[in-house]
């Protein structure tokens, strides 16, 4: 179990850090196209190609982890990718982080340990063919309800001649993208389980292909939400929905069960909660600080400025002439999604 968790952490680190490196590499590159000159410029850009290889390696490691452990363990741990990316941004991109960012990273780390302890006694997966139609019907019904809700709010907005998007629209786009990300992991795991039960080996590449399509659709929904709404709301809903969907679908469709031992069950459930809370803090820390009372807000900001000044005077580096290369912790998820859109 711990080997699978370590593979998941490496995979999600490769995915998230790889996308940031690609984003940083594209700052000096032309828009991606199939022209030979453009392709060569991307291939020979060390930063972009390094990020691309890290992204691909992360996807491969994630598939290996899914083949070895329950998706209800792997999916929550993958949410720690934002915490790893925040640490990478702090030390590599020289990004200043606030106290809530560090609290979120700590909670995600503790949650990962809790999931690992509880997951060691978790039963394996045993998919039933009758559960597959139910899973498809459930997801399709949920999307119908969410899109009907979205259509109703869009109609009301047109009637009232409102131009700004409402929070309901941001929540719906975030939930839809997160559900697709969670289902993507479940479908990949389903292929491995069916293969182990004696089905043709072709189910593995077929399930991986369907999983890739679900992920691509998830990025489309997330990009639509980020284009018209706030990154904080969309990213938070997507991250939480992906974890919850992976856990619930893993239990319902793959027959994964919570450990029977009380201590293992408590550890697993507490780990899930810690990871979800940690991800929410990382995504929305700037907004939360803005809502704090003025004395606490000044205290937090003064500590951030003091730490930033110490790090600037204690290290010698050339100032980056492009401020867009610095990724703020509250917009890391936005950068990930936008970079995926640019590659497409």
Domain hosting 182: range is 2-312+323-343
Indicate the DSSP class of residue 292. Answer: S
CB 18 within 8 A of CB 85: no
pLDDT of res. 240: 81
Q: How far is 19 from 257, CA to CA, in rounded Å?
A: 34
The answer to whether residue 317 sits within a structural domain is no
The answer to whether residue 287 sits within a structural domain is yes
pLDDT of res. 306: 54
Structure token digits, residue 296: 């606490």
pLDDT of res. 271: 85
- Long-range contacts of the stretch 203-210 (C-beta < 8 A, 24+): 208/63
The answer to whether residue 228 sits within a structural domain is yes
* Residue-by-residue DSSP string for 38-80: HHHHHHT-HHHHHHHHHHHHHHHHHHHHHHHS-HHHHHHHHTT
Instruction: Indicate the Cα dihedral angle 318, 324, 180, 49, nearest 10°.
Output: -50
Q: How far is 216 from 222, CA to CA, in rounded Å?
A: 10
Q: How far is 95 from 235, CA to CA, in rounded Å?
A: 20
pLDDT of res. 122: 55
The answer to whether residue 144 sits within a structural domain is yes
The answer to whether residue 53 sits within a structural domain is yes
Indicate the DSSP class of residue 256. Answer: -
CB 326 within 8 A of CB 95: yes
Structure token digits, residue 120: 């060691």
The answer to whether residue 318 sits within a structural domain is no
Q: Considering the entire predicted model, what is its pTM?
A: 0.67
Q: To 10 degrees, what angle do helices 167-196 and 71-78 make?
A: 140
Q: How far is 289 from 135, CA to CA, in rounded Å?
A: 40
Q: How far is 209 from 189, CA to CA, in rounded Å?
A: 12
* Domain count for the chain: 1
The answer to whether residue 14 sits within a structural domain is yes
The answer to whether residue 208 sits within a structural domain is yes
Q: For residue 206, what are the contacts with CB-CB under 8 A and spacing of at least 6?
A: 191
Nearest alpha carbon to residue 77 among 275, 281, 284, 252: 275
pLDDT of res. 317: 39
CB 214 within 8 A of CB 180: yes
Per-residue pLDDT of the chain (344 residues; tens, 9 = 90+): 778 888 888 888 888 788 778 777 877 878 767 788 888 888 888 888 888 898 889 888 888 888 887 887 888 888 787 788 778 877 877 777 778 888 888 888 888 888 877 765 555 556 666 777 777 888 888 888 988 888 887 777 777 665 555 677 778 888 888 888 888 888 888 888 888 877 788 888 898 898 888 888 888 787 777 676 666 677 778 878 888 888 888 777 777 777 777 887 888 888 888 888 888 887 777 778 777 777 776 666 655 555 555 444 444 333 343 333 333 433 444 444 444 444 44
* Residue-by-residue DSSP string for 214-249: HHHHHHHHHHHHHHHS-HHHHHHHHHHHHHHHHHHH
φ, ψ of residue 201 in degrees (nearest 5): -65, -15
């Amino acid at each position: 179990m711990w080997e699978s968790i370590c593979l998941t952490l490496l995979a999600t680190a490769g995915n998230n850090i790889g996308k940031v490196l690609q984003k940083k590499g594209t700052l000096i590159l032309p828009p991606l196209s199939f022209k030979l000159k453009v392709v060569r410029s991307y291939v020979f850009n060390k930063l972009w190609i390094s990020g691309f290889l890290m992204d691909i390696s992360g996807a491969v490691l994630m598939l290996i982890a899914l083949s070895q452990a329950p998706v209800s363990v792997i999916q929550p741990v993958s949410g720690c990718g934002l915490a790893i990316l925040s640490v990478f941004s702090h030390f590599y991109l020289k990004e200043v982080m606030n106290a809530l960012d560090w609290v979120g990273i700590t909670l995600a780390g503790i949650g990962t340990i809790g999931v690992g302890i509880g997951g060691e006694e978790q039963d394996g997966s045993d998919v039933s063919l009758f559960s597959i139609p139910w899973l498809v019907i459930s997801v399709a019904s949920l999307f119908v309800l969410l899109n009907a809700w979205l259509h109703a709010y869009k109609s009301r907005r047109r009637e009232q001649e409102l131009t700004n998007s409402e929070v309901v629209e941001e929540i719906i786009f975030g939930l839809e993208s997160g559900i697709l990300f969670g289902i993507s992991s479940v479908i990949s795991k389903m292929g491995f389980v069916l293969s182990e039960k004696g089905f043709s080996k072709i189910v593995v590449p077929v399930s991986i292909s369907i999983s890739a399509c679900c992920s691509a659709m998830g990025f489309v929904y997330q990009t639509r939400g980020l284009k018209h709404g706030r990154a904080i709301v969309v990213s938070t809903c997507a991250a939480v929905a992906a974890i919850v969907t992976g856990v619930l679908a893993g239990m319902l469709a793959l027959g994964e069960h919570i450990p029977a031992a009380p201590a293992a069950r408590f550890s697993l459930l507490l780990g899930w909660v810690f990871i979800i809370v940690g991800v929410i803090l990382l995504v929305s820390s700037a907004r939360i600080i803005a809502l704090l009372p003025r004395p606490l807000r000044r205290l937090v900001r003064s500590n951030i400025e003091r730490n930033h000044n110490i790090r600037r005077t204690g290290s010698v580096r050339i100032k980056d002439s492009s401020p867009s290369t610095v990724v703020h912790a509250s917009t890391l998820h936005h950068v990930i999604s936008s970079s995926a859109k640019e590659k497409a």
